[in-house]
């Protein structure tokens, strides 16, 4: 415990920060942040699991700092896939003020009118965002989103369990040597993207034919896969439960800190480069407070501590400037240009392709055994027939018994 605290203190000093317990975050424009104080406002933030510094290991507790600074209460909840957020939102059930979906989901939500336009006058800190992230292809006019993090997908492996000569390519995930030691994503886009890449297609399927081939490839891989998981990967890889897992670069860094036996590489075929962006859905009730939270996330000091904790890569120049070289110089989070050159971003698929991907995903996870589709109706029919037979035979027997009883002398009845 003490050791962790010391380590945290050291990191904070290295960051040029004061210990969070001693002093609050320094912000440029305090009046901006305190204008809603005492009005009992609250916002609902829905973010990925393990995706914000929570005060552990000596980093800032971002949510708590924000609450103390602004007096706005934050209800913080987590999700584990983009599709889950989409489903919750589409059901109309959720009253979130802030979401952090990935690029392609942002595009889909914009297309379906699920997002609110941001007021960039309320987001002065947007000036820190690197220009290469302005007007991204998922939000071409840059009206709806602010980038939170970016990163690439690579393969994490356990050096004690995997031979060095097997590394280098996506083929590793199809290597029968590691049967039942491979973990895969529990979301359709990442898995299909990998399969498509291995087939030499673009990671965003262009037609149903490509998707079908990718599905066949993933089905072929299925016997080798131990489980389809998301953030459970942390425990599995750190604990040595599995040997190989494709996952996000930032999380790979976190895992490698906890288990020095882990290694990471970006497959030579190229990979996906994603951007996770902060957006405000149309169901938001406290838009200005939400914008304030987004602005707070872009404060260099906050972003620096936040990014250092979650390990992903930052689009925030202000943060990058004050982060220690060990982090910004990490080739996993900030890969060389040659690696970046071979990456592809997600794009929003057409509604038909989205449906096809969903169906293919469900098919992948259904069992391999084949049964006639009439089996269930037949079972129902059998149940009905049995139920009727039992009823009829009972009624018949009852009548017979009664008849028999009628013939008996009254006393024995």
Partner 1 sequence: MKWLSKTYVGLVLAFLYAPILVLIVFSFNQSKSRGAWTGFTLGWYQKLFTNDTIIQALINTMFVAVVSSVVATALGTLAAIGIANMKKWQRGLVMNVTYMPVINPEIVTGVSLMLLFVFLRSVLSYLNAKFGWNLQLEFGFVTLILAHITFNVPYVILNVLPKLRQMDTFVYEAALDLGCSPSQAFFKVVIPEIMPGILSGFLMSFTYSLDDFIISYFVAGATSQTLPIVIFSMTRRKVSPEINALSAIIFVVVLAVLLAVNLYDSRREKENRMKARARA
Partner 2 sequence: MKTKTPALPYVLWMIIFTVIPLALVAFYAITDPQGHFTIDYISQVGEYTPVLVRSIWLAAVSSVISLLIAYPLAFWISRRAWNHQRTMVMLVMLPMWMNFLLRTYAWMTILEKNGLINRFLGLFGIGPLELIYTPGAVVLGMIYNYLPAMILPLYSIMTKIPNSIIEAAQDLGCNTWDVLWKVLVPLTVPGISTGVIMVFVPSVSTFIISRMLGGGGNLLIGDLIELQFLGNAYNPNLGAAISLVLMVLILLCMSVTNQFGDEEKGEMLK
Summarize as ranges the residues that interact with partner 1 (CB under 8 A). Answer: 1, 42, 44, 46, 49-50, 75-78, 80, 91-96, 230-232, 234-235, 238-240, 258
Among 35, 329, 387, 401, binds partner 2 (CB under 8 A): 387
Which residues in 168-227 contact partner 2 (CB under 8 A)? 180, 186-188, 222, 225-227
List the single partner that 355 binds among partner 1, partner 2, none, CB under 5 to 8 Å by kind: partner 2
How near is the Cβ of 244 to partner 2 at its closest, in Å? 14
Q: Residues 338, 268: contact at Cβ < 8 Å?
A: no
Q: Which one, 98 or 297, has the nearer CB to partner 1?
A: 98
Tokens in use for 75? 């209800």
How near is the Cβ of 393 to partner 2 at its closest, in Å? 9
Is residue 165 a contact point for partner 2 (CB under 8 A)?
Answer: no
Is residue 386 a contact point for partner 2 (CB under 8 A)?
Answer: yes
How near is the Cβ of 49 to partner 1 at its closest, in Å? 4
**Burial environment of residue 384 by CB neighbours within 10 A (0 to 12, 13 to 18, 19 or more):** exposed
Q: Which one, 130 or 231, has the nearer CB to partner 1?
A: 231
Paired sense of beta strands 182-185 and 225-229, if any: parallel
- At 335, give phi and psi (nearest 5°): -70, 165
Is residue 372 a contact point for partner 2 (CB under 8 A)?
Answer: yes
Q: Interface with partner 2 by CB under 8 A: which range of 16-24, 59-67, 121-129, 364-372?
A: 364-372
Is residue 84 a contact point for partner 2 (CB under 8 A)?
Answer: yes
Half-sphere exposure of 305 (CA within 13 A, CB side): 31
Is residue 5 a contact point for partner 2 (CB under 8 A)?
Answer: no
Per-residue burial over 137-148, b = 16 or more CB atoms within 10 Å of its CB, e = otherwise: ebbeebebbbbb
How near is the Cβ of 179 to partner 2 at its closest, in Å? 10
- Cβ within 8 Å of residue 107, ≥6 positions away: 137, 138, 139, 347, 348
List the single partner that 394 binds among partner 1, partner 2, none, CB under 5 to 8 Å by kind: partner 2
- Angle at which helices 103-111 and 82-90 cross, to 10°: 20
Q: Which one, 201 or 234, has the nearer CB to partner 1?
A: 234
Residues that bind partner 2 (CB under 8 A): 81, 83-84, 86-88, 90-91, 180, 186-188, 222, 225-229, 239-242, 355, 358-359, 361-363, 365-377, 379-380, 383-384, 386-387, 390-391, 394
């Amino acid at each position: 415990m003490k050791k962790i605290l010391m380590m945290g203190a050291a990191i904070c000093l290295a960051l040029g920060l004061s210990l969070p317990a001693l002093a609050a975050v320094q912000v440029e424009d305090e009046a901006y942040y305190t204008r809603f104080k005492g009005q009992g406002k609250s916002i609902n933030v829905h973010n990925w699991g393990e995706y914000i510094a929570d005060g552990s290991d000596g980093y800032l507790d971002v949510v708590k700092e924000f609450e103390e600074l602004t007096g706005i209460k934050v209800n913080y909840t987590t999700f584990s896939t983009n599709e889950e957020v989409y489903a919750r939102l589409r059901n109309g059930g959720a009253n979130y003020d802030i979401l952090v979906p990935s690029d392609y989901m942002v595009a889909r939500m914009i297309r379906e009118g699920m997002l609110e336009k941001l007021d960039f006058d309320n987001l002065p800190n947007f000036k820190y965002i690197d220009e290469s992230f302005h007007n991204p292809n998922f939000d071409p006019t840059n009206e709806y989103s602010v980038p939170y993090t970016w990163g690439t997908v690579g393969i994490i492996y356990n050096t004690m369990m995997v031979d060095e000569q097997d590394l280098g390519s996506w083929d590793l995930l199809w290597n029968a040597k590691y049967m039942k030691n491979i973990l895969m994503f529990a979301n359709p886009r990442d898995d299909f993207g990998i399969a498509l890449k291995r087939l030499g297609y673009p990671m965003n399927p262009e037609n149903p034919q490509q998707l079908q081939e990718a599905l066949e490839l993933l089905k072929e891989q299925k016997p080798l896969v131990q489980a389809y998981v998301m953030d459970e990967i942390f425990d599995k890889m750190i604990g040595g439960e599995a040997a190989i897992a494709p996952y996000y670069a930032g999380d790979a860094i976190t895992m490698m800190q906890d288990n020095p036996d882990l290694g990471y590489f970006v497959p030579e075929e190229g990979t996906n480069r994603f951007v996770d962006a902060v957006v405000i859905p149309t169901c938001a009730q406290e838009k200005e407070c939400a914008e304030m939270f987004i602005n707070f996330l872009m404060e260099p000091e906050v972003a620096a501590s936040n990014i250092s904790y979650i390990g992903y890569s930052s689009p925030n120049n202000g943060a990058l400037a004050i982060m220690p070289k060990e982090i910004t110089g990490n080739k996993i989070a900030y890969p060389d240009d040659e690696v970046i050159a071979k990456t592809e971003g997600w794009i929003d698929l057409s509604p038909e392709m989205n449906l096809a991907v969903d169906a293919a995903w469900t098919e992948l996870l259904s069992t391999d055994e084949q049964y006639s589709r009439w089996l269930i109706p037949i079972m129902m029919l059998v149940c009905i027939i049995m139920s009727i037979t039992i009823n009829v035979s009972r009624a018949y027997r009852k009548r017979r018994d009664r008849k028999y009883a009628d013939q008996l002398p009254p006393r024995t009845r």
